[in-house]
Amino acid sequence: MSAFLDISHIDMTFPTPKGEFTALKDVNLQIKKGEFISLIGHSGCGKSTVLNVVAGLHQATSGGVILNKKEVKQPGPERAVVFQNHSLLPWLSAYQNVELAVKQVFGNSKSKAETKEWIEHNLKLVHMDHAMDKRPDEISGGMKQRVGIARALAMEPEVLLMDEPFGALDALTRAHMQDSLMEIQNELNNTVIMITHDVDEAVLLSDKIVMMTNGPAATVGEILEVNLPRPRNRLALAEDSEYNRLRSAVLTFLYEKQRKVEVIPTAAKTEAKNSEDDSAAASA
Ligand SMILES: Nc1ncnc2c1ncn2[C@@H]1O[C@H](COP(=O)(O)OP(=O)(O)OP(=O)(O)O)[C@@H](O)[C@H]1O
Ligand SMILES: [Mg+2]
């Protein structure tokens, strides 16, 4: 049986002033309908690039994406995106930002009252009903991110693409959003691809964790199946041996197999370098 979402042999090369940069090389991923996939990998490896290709915002240099037997060539309302940096229209209120997306997807098929109820329902899900009439510059980063999530959910997309959706949230709100997302996905059976840097979040939410190698020419390194029964409870899982095995498999991939050595100058070294520069300048 062919996959519902088939990411096949994707290469992505960007032109840069120093020549071509190959971000992705031969990325392959087959996703079933209703599956929850997390993409995890070090910063800069190419996670957002993969998501943007699936969203239809970037065209792969070679290879392609087939969704439900149709090739993805451009963005479409059946694929809602929650961006890494919230992307609300600044002149519209939270309510109006969600309304715009709802009208785009449902047209006139919902009555005025139904539309209002649906927008409010989705803002309530992300605990933003108290601030629906505020504009983006009047709310915090985490609140903007929650409106972005409400907007995506309100579109009832077949595929939900989320780029670090909970990164800007405090721990409690984050836990609440993770639980709501699990409930919503269980109810609507959306197919989800979520980028995250959080190992616990990946294990808690996913059916599969797709771990990417470091770039350039990043690709899928390993795929970890998460067969923990649902509904999942974060407190019960903390003691669960299978949960802890999966968690340590992801950590091993990130910090042993794909260890990334970044040289960050320490304060002492920077000071020494500055005083060398000073004495060089003095003696010049
Ligand atoms: N438009 C572009 N032009 C040139 N290089 C790009 C472009 N977009 C992305 N890249 C490069 O491709 C690589 C992958 O970028 P990408 O944004 O997909 O990484 P990421 O895994 O999402 O990182 P992060 O976790 O920091 O968000 C990086 O090296 C980035 O510099
Ligand atoms: Mg990114």
Task: Decide whether any atom of ligand 1 lies within 6 Å of the 43 Cβ.
Answer: yes
Tens of pLDDT, residues 133-152: 999 999 998 899 999 999 99
Tens of pLDDT, residues 193-248: 999 999 999 999 999 999 999 989 999 999 999 999 999 999 999 999 999 999 99
pLDDT of 282 > 50? The answer is no
What is the set of domains in the chain, with CATH numbers? 5-78+157-283 (3.40.50.300)
What is the per-residue pLDDT for 231? 95
Cα 211 to Cα 202: distance, rounded to the nearest angstrom: 10
Q: Which residue's CA is the closest to the ligand 1 atom numbered 18?
A: 46
Question: Going by DSSP bridges, is the β-strand pair 70-71/62-67 parallel, antiparallel, or unpaired?
Answer: antiparallel
The answer for residues whose C-beta is within 8 angstroms of residue 149's C-beta and 6 or more apart is: 82, 126, 162, 165, 177
Token digits of residue 81: 């995106």
Cα 120 to Cα 144: distance, rounded to the nearest angstrom: 16
Task: Decide whether any atom of ligand 1 lies within 6 Å of the 196 Cβ.
Answer: no
What is the per-residue pLDDT for 284? 42
* Over residues 59-70, mean pLDDT: 97
What is the per-residue pLDDT for 136? 96
Among 163, 197, 259, 193, which Cα is nearest to 41's? Answer: 197
pLDDT of 270 > 60? The answer is no
Q: Which residue has the higher pLDDT, 125 or 27?
A: 27
Task: Decide whether any atom of ligand 1 lies within 6 Å of the 218 Cβ.
Answer: no
Q: Which residue's CA is the closest to the ligand 1 atom numbered 28?
A: 44
Kindly indicate the confidence band of residue 100, based on its pLDDT and cuts at 50, 70 and 90: very high
* Over residues 118-141, mean pLDDT: 94
Task: Decide whether any atom of ligand 1 lies within 6 Å of the 12 Cβ.
Answer: no
Q: Which residue's CA is the closest to the ligand 1 atom numbered 25?
A: 43
Kindly indicate the confidence band of residue 130, based on its pLDDT and cuts at 50, 70 and 90: very high
The ligand minimizing its distance to the Cα of 42 is 1
Cα 122 to Cα 94: distance, rounded to the nearest angstrom: 11
What is the per-residue pLDDT for 33? 97
Atom of ligand 1 nearest to the CA of 41: 21
Task: Decide whether any atom of ligand 1 lies within 6 Å of the 16 Cβ.
Answer: yes
Q: Is residue 179 within a helix (H) or strand (E), and if so which, with residue range?
A: helix 171-188
What is the per-residue pLDDT for 206? 98
Q: What is the pTM of this model?
A: 0.89
pLDDT of 271 > 90? The answer is no
